[in-house]
Structure 1
Amino acid sequence: MKKYDFIIAGGGMAGLSLAYYLTRSLLRDRSILILERDQKNRNDRTWCFWEKGAGPFEPILFQCWDTAAFYGPGYTGRLGMGDYRYKMLRGIDFYTFVEQQLTQFPNIERKQATINRIKDTPQGGFVIADDEPYLADYVFDSTYQLTLDQPENHNLLQHFKGWFVETERPCFDPAVPIIMDFRTDQHDDCRFVYVLPFDENRALVEFTLFNQRLLSSDEYEYALRHYLSQHIDTGAYQITDVETGVIPMSDVTTTETPSEHIIRIGTAGGYTKPSTGYTFSRTQRYLRELVDNIAKTGKPVRRVPWLKRRFALYDSIFLNVLENNRYPADALFTRIYARNPVRVFRFLDEDTTFPDELRLFTTMPTRPFLVAMIQVLRRKFVAR
């Protein structure tokens, strides 16, 4: 049985990003095995994120905008983004780009296989895939499934269905995406549509919900049809592609290093921000930190400063407000974005200072967040 320096269990966004950053570091000559069940040869997803300056995947961005529109109760207009840019990256472009980079390194092996088991051993991380054994100094696992039904945690789902549409009439402004449009029936949930325009006649129109219950296919499609008929003067339109997804929004406690030789990455490692479901940019940041630490110390440990842990508390409080419907979600998000230009993007990136956060908190409804904070702190105290 051959032993590798690193095994990457799962060749999706997190696994391929890790492999990419390893090739850009002093670790580029290490023996690496990537195990992935599916062929990454189709556009199976789209990632959107905001970012300052040029990121590592700037050359393959499908679209980039320096402003965004918002529609909420009592506010309609553009959001101040400062130095941030809202970026869109297609899955197929990402997979193709990283694959091209990895083919330059003969020390990186790829195998299409279903992972059966991952465990720690005194000799290293042990993986069985398609009944074949593999061993490595470290296994980076993005396949671990979080347990999202624990009553002491907040467990929402961000789920969506999007249509790529081509319209008869020029009806989109390609310079201005709609980041959130709450002009859709809320049904005591958080429901919105966002519109990412590619030109005047083509866009991705996506219906998104934050709650605990998935809808039927017909319900998503009804919401999309209704939105287009009421708010976009499309004329006739064609649906050229469809995307769907479910992202956990949970404050379940995650362990990045459950054992000496196994490290969880991506959603499995807690990289998804609980209060928003955003994963891509956090994954890139965390993996760069992880690779830097391996290169410097030989240990795959990502250090989280103690003060940074306050953002996990903020996420839990926000989830508590949403989960218990303590304040209408459409009005809540409107207050956050409309009253905190630029600051909201820094806050969601966890780059704010405490004075910045206090200014943002003063724009929030006091009682719902105070009740939520008390309940969250009580839960944490009882859990101990």
Structure 2
Amino acid sequence: MNYYDYIIVGGGASGLMMAYRMSKDTFFDDKTILILDKEKKTLNDRTWCYWEDKNDEWNDVVTISWNTIIFKSDVYKTEQVIAPYQYKMIQSKDFYLKIWNHLEQKTNFTFQSKNVTSIHQLKGEAEVITSNQVFKTKKLINSILFNNEYKEQTKYPVLQQHFVGFFIKTKEDTFDDNAATFMDFTVAQNGNTRFMYILPYKKNEALFEYTLFSEDLLKYEEYKLAIEKYLESKNITDYEIVDKEQGSIPMTCYKFWEQNSENIIHIGTAGGWSKASTGFTFKNTTKKTAELIVHLKQNKSLERFHKINKFWFYDLLLLDILHEKNHLGAVLFSDLFKRTPSKRILKFLDEETSLFEDLQVILKMPPKNFIRAIYRRIF
């Protein structure tokens, strides 16, 4: 009764996306698949954004998309069309609804509300320990961070992309909903990398998210005051807050995948699937889950799934710089957007550029800091 062909631990974006892919592939039709989490997610607890061409597999749950993005700092400002990309926003409740409605039609999928306390590699199989039950499986797909080992090590710097967002609604049409503000560095930096991220999804509704790339989180009141001050500077004073969100995403090149084993693989943030230099996770998860389906069908050891690439090293250099000199974020990103078309930047961040294209991006940023970071990593 407690043995399944596959167990997915964690019913967030990566766990559910993996379940969805498995349910769409006939290879898994005769396999028993269990999803474990404390609760079945249905509420709007996350906002995910990514860039993709006009038609992609998640279009039916995209809240809004933009053809134009805005970058601002004290030294440079640009508004650029990013075709063939669109910048897309998904609210998690729509994503959850799509996945659960689909999985409910599949008799080989089971969900159980359980508090998972630990997972273990056994001989030829894996084990999941919950507060009141033990499950075993051939292949365990885990999206939960069970320890803080990545924070305690010192080989790879760890920053946090931490944020508080206010969904605000104004009485009058206030916002240009034709463009998303990717980064606005005109906010006070206070020795960190700080910016405002703005998604206008209606002419009178928008998400304002105060975001930092830094080691330490702030008190909630500091995020709140920063958003209020920013809105006031834009003469937005008559509004209501219709929703809020808060989060923190680890930005690190720590090798999470080294904890994978023959029968256990870690996915999502727990597997190092968040883009280390930006914190973007949704697009990378879309790619990685598709690749993992192929790997599972070949019945290979799960510890052989991850392949390190050149972009891991690029991210490491940037994080080394921001870890040592966190105040340089605005300067680095300003130089990047000033000298490189947004479309090329987005392609680079998607890890889809050639070595020649990589150099067209990297060499447009201040070389001194990167040369120093390379020297320190080598020697």
Note whether the superposition's TM-score is higher than 0.5: yes
C-alpha distance in 2 between matches for 1:73 and 1:331: 9
- Return the offset for 1:169: 3.0
**What pairs up with 1:193-232 in 2 under 5 angstroms?**
193-231=196-234
- Return the offset for 1:124: 1.1
Alignment gaps of 5+ in structure 1: 379-384
Determine the structure 2 residue equivalent to 1:381: none
C-alpha distance in 2 between matches for 1:67 and 1:80: 4
Determine the structure 2 residue equivalent to 1:276: 278
Alignment gaps of 5+ in structure 2: none
Aligned residue pairs total: 375
Equivalent AA in structure 1 for residue 45 of structure 2: D
Greater displacement, 309-318 / 116-125: 116-125
Contact 1:294 1:301 in 2 (8 A): no
Correspondence 1:170 to 2:173? yes
C-alpha distance in 2 between matches for 1:327 and 1:220: 18
Deviations 1:50-86 (A, max 9, x none): 1134222110101111111111132212134231110
Deviations 1:133-155 (A, max 9, x none): 11111110111345223122111
Greater displacement, 338-347 / 219-228: 338-347
C-alpha distance in 2 between matches for 1:142 and 1:326: 29
Determine the structure 1 residue equivalent to 2:323: 323
Determine the structure 1 residue equivalent to 2:294: 292
C-alpha distance in 1 between matches for 2:349 and 2:255: 19
Residue among 183, 189, 194 paired with 1:191: 194
- Return the offset for 1:301: 6.4
Equivalent AA in structure 1 for residue 70 of structure 2: A
Q: Secondary structure at the match of 2:232?
A: helix
Q: Secondary structure at the match of 2:45?
A: coil
**What pairs up with 1:137-156 in 2 under 5 angstroms?**
137-144=138-145, 145-147=147-149, 148-156=151-159
Contact 1:71 1:181 in 2 (8 A): yes
TM-score (norm 1): 0.93
- Return the offset for 1:26: 2.7
Determine the structure 1 residue equivalent to 2:49: 48
C-alpha distance in 1 between matches for 2:330 and 2:275: 20
Determine the structure 1 residue equivalent to 2:248: 246
Contact 1:290 1:301 in 2 (8 A): no
Greater displacement, 174-183 / 78-87: 78-87
Equivalent AA in structure 2 for residue 64 of structure 1: S
**What pairs up with 1:344-355 in 2 under 5 angstroms?**
344-355=345-356
Contact 2:36 2:113 in 1 (8 A): yes
C-alpha distance in 1 between matches for 2:124 and 2:305: 25
C-alpha distance in 2 between matches for 1:50 and 1:374: 33
C-alpha distance in 1 between matches for 2:48 and 2:90: 5
- Return the offset for 1:28: 3.3
C-alpha distance in 2 between matches for 1:302 and 1:349: 22
- Return the offset for 1:332: 1.1
Determine the structure 1 residue equivalent to 2:367: 366
Deviations 1:310-363 (A, max 9, x none): 111101100011111177211211121232111111110110001111111221
Q: Secondary structure at the match of 1:39?
A: coil
Equivalent AA in structure 2 for residue 163 of structure 1: F
Determine the structure 1 residue equivalent to 2:334: 334
Determine the structure 2 residue equivalent to 1:84: 85
Contact 1:48 1:88 in 2 (8 A): yes
C-alpha distance in 1 between matches for 2:75 and 2:217: 29
Greater displacement, 354-363 / 200-209: 354-363
Q: Secondary structure at the match of 2:236?
A: coil
Contact 1:161 1:207 in 2 (8 A): yes
- Return the offset for 1:203: 0.4
C-alpha distance in 2 between matches for 1:368 and 1:21: 42
Q: Secondary structure at the match of 1:14?
A: helix
With over 3 angstroms needed to count, the CA separation of the structure-2 counterparts of 1:41 and 1:282, relative to structure 1, is same
C-alpha distance in 1 between matches for 2:302 and 2:24: 16
Determine the structure 2 residue equivalent to 1:24: 24
Q: Secondary structure at the match of 2:279?
A: coil
Q: Secondary structure at the match of 1:245?
A: strand
Q: Percent identity of the aligned residues?
A: 34
Contact 1:293 1:302 in 2 (8 A): no
**What pairs up with 1:109-120 in 2 under 5 angstroms?**
109-120=110-121
- Return the offset for 1:220: 0.4
C-alpha distance in 1 between matches for 2:297 and 2:261: 20
Equivalent AA in structure 1 for residue 287 of structure 2: R
Contact 1:286 1:302 in 2 (8 A): no
Q: Secondary structure at the match of 2:352?
A: coil
Contact 1:25 1:295 in 2 (8 A): no
Q: Secondary structure at the match of 2:179?
A: coil
- Return the offset for 1:175: 0.9
TM-score (norm 2): 0.95
Equivalent AA in structure 1 for residue 23 of structure 2: T
Contact 2:214 2:323 in 1 (8 A): yes
**What pairs up with 1:59-74 in 2 under 5 angstroms?**
59-74=60-75
C-alpha distance in 1 between matches for 2:43 and 2:162: 21
Contact 1:316 1:376 in 2 (8 A): no
Q: Secondary structure at the match of 2:210?
A: strand
Residue among 256, 266, 269 paired with 1:267: 269
Determine the structure 2 residue equivalent to 1:15: 15
Deviations 1:177-209 (A, max 9, x none): 111111100011100001101111100010000
